[in-house]
Amino acid sequence: MKTVLITGCSSGFGLETARHFLANGWKVIATMRTPKADVLPASPHLSVLPLDVTNAQSIRDVVAAAGPIDVLVNNAGIGYLGALEGMSMDAARDVFETNTFGTMAMSQAFVPQFRERRDGVIINVTSTVTLRSLPLLAVYTASKAAVNAFTECLALELNAFDVRATLVLPGRAPDTRFGDNARPRMPEFPEPYTELVQGIFAEWAKPSDITESRDVAEAVWRAATDPSTPMRLPAGKDAVAWANA
């Protein structure tokens, strides 16, 4: 039985991905800042572990508790919406600590066992905002675009050891708690940006194609099980449309 470790499993993409792998007969190690085992179906193949990807000791503890794994899914992330002029650099650094450096740190922690076994897959979940620039998302987009570049370079490093690194790029997913989680960090918009902000929110309110959590779970499953999966795999109707534009 193969084992997958997934970060950010308390809700949204991570939760649905954990369910998908369990349903397909894998052992799942679901991690989250505050463990909530009841969000997933009871299973002897499920372990729920605490993890803060910004904390080095927390990462070491998870590596020790997890043991050998076959696939690492770096899904944990935080959202951020705001005009650059109105945000603090501390807030920007927090976004990068989780979205970018947390992904790098988790990858670094598991690469040694993958390299030694000459087998393993690292799947990093980013976003299709990296394919099309949008206002008010400069810092968030930069944090995810950095992971894209990191993953593509890492894949070249690990190819010699038969280890894969790949990307899943979801689109906009209103059925997740992404917006709710981002809201407490959202700064006040500077007054000169009011018209821009109102126009953007009005545009986002219009009916459009979206990404559902199951789209991401299915894309992660494909990336984990199909070596022919492309480096950048869009997940969701809107994501596919953006990737093909």
Q: pLDDT per residue over 14-25, tens digit each?
A: 999 999 999 999
Average pLDDT over the chain, rounded to an integer = 94
For residues 86 and 191, is the Cβ–Cβ distance under 8 A? no
Task: Give the Cα separation of 210 and 208 in Å (integer).
Answer: 6
237: which residues sit within 8 A by CB, 6+ positions away? 171, 209, 210, 211, 215
pLDDT of residue 51: 98
Is 140 a residue of the active site?
yes
What digits encode the pLDDT tens for the residues 23-69? 999 999 999 999 987 899 999 999 999 999 999 999 999 999 999 99
133 vs 59, higher pLDDT: 59
Rg (CA), the chain: 18
Using pLDDT thresholds of 50, 70 and 90, give the confidence band for residue 224.
very high
> Would you say residue 83 has pLDDT above 70?
yes
Active-site option among 140, 150, 221, 242 = 140
pTM beyond 0.85: yes
Taking residues 122-140, report their average pLDDT: 96
Confidence of residue 203 (pLDDT cuts 50, 70, 90): confident
37-48 burial: b if 16+ Cβ within 10 Å, else e: eeebeeeeebbb
pLDDT of residue 185: 66
Half-sphere exposure of 130 (CA within 13 A, CB side): 19
Select the more confidently predicted residue: 176 or 212: 212
Looking at residue 49, its pLDDT comes to 97
How much is the average pLDDT of 155-172?
97
Top-confidence range, 93-97, 174-178, 207-211: 93-97
pLDDT of residue 240: 96
User: What are the pLDDT digits (tens) for 98-129?
Assistant: 999 999 999 999 999 999 999 999 999 999 99
Nearest to 54 by CA among 13, 113, 84, 95: 95
Pick the CATH number of 3-244 from 2.40.50.140, 1.20.1440.80, 3.40.50.720, 3.30.70.20: 3.40.50.720
Please give the average per-residue pLDDT across 209-238, as a whole number.
Answer: 97
pLDDT of res. 36: 86
